[in-house]
Amino acid sequence: MAILLGDVYVDACEVYGRMPTDALMESWSSVLAGYSAQEVKQAFLAWQANDEINLFTGRTYGSMMPAPSELKALVVRARREAQAKLRSDFKYCGDCVNGLLVVLQPGLDGRQERAFSICHCVSHLSQQERAAGSGRSAGV
Ligand SMILES: [Zn+2]
């Protein structure tokens, strides 16, 4: 079953011993609109695991309830990292030359001429990058 943003919010309140409020739920909804609850949950887990010390409070970041904007920053970063990983893991399929296929096709004068098209391996990568950038799973 898909989780909802409200579930993540209520869980966060429970973890940090806060009473959920409508005002803060609305703030989460507006700041995190456009991101899936699953992504926000991942961001929340990453937040909790952050043991870096906040210099203002002297406590770890993960020990304090995150503001929705802090979760949003983590979601955005996770999307960027997913895209960067796709790109760094990418290998051309081997049928193309750096993503280009050379095809011979009849030209205006009837002679064969060379034309180029983008290989499927590159268009597949672009699709996956778009999916990662929108938070969808890249199972294309
Ligand atoms: Zn290719």
Q: What is the pLDDT of residues 87-100, one digit of tens each?
A: 999 999 999 999 99
Same domain, 73 and 96: no
Question: Are 61 and 73 in contact, with CB atoms under 8 Å apart?
Answer: no
What is the distance in A from the centroid of ligand 1 to the CA of 96? 4
Total structural domains within the chain = 2
The residue to which tokens 């290989």 are assigned: 119
Question: Are 86 and 129 in contact, with CB atoms under 8 Å apart?
Answer: yes
What is the distance in A from the centroid of ligand 1 to the CA of 97? 7
Six-digit token pair at 30?
């507006």
Q: What are phi and psi of 98, to 5 degrees?
A: 45, 45
How many other C-beta atoms are found inside a 10 Å radius of the C-beta of residue 134?
12
- pLDDT tens per residue across span 38-58: 999 999 999 999 999 999 999
Same domain, 67 and 16: yes
Same domain, 128 and 110: yes
- Domain boundary at 64, 81, 98, which? 81
Same domain, 57 and 19: yes
- Domain boundary at 81, 104, 124, which? 81
Residues in the chain, how many? Answer: 140
CA dist list (Å): 93 to 102, 107, 130: 14, 28, 20
What is the distance in A from the centroid of ligand 1 to the CA of 105? 19
Structure confidence at residue 48 (pLDDT):
97
**Is a pLDDT exceeding 60 seen at residue 64?**
yes
**Is a pLDDT exceeding 50 seen at residue 29?**
yes
**Is a pLDDT exceeding 50 seen at residue 63?**
yes
What is the distance in A from the centroid of ligand 1 to the CA of 91? 8
Note residues around ion ligand 1 (Cβ under 5 angstroms): 92-93, 96, 119, 121
What is the distance in A from the centroid of ligand 1 to the CA of 130? 18
**Residue-range definition of the domain harbouring residue 31:** 1-81
- Separation of alpha carbons 16 and 78, rounded Å: 23
What is the distance in A from the centroid of ligand 1 to the CA of 92? 5
- Separation of alpha carbons 66 and 13, rounded Å: 10
- The whole-number average pLDDT for the span 124-134 is 92
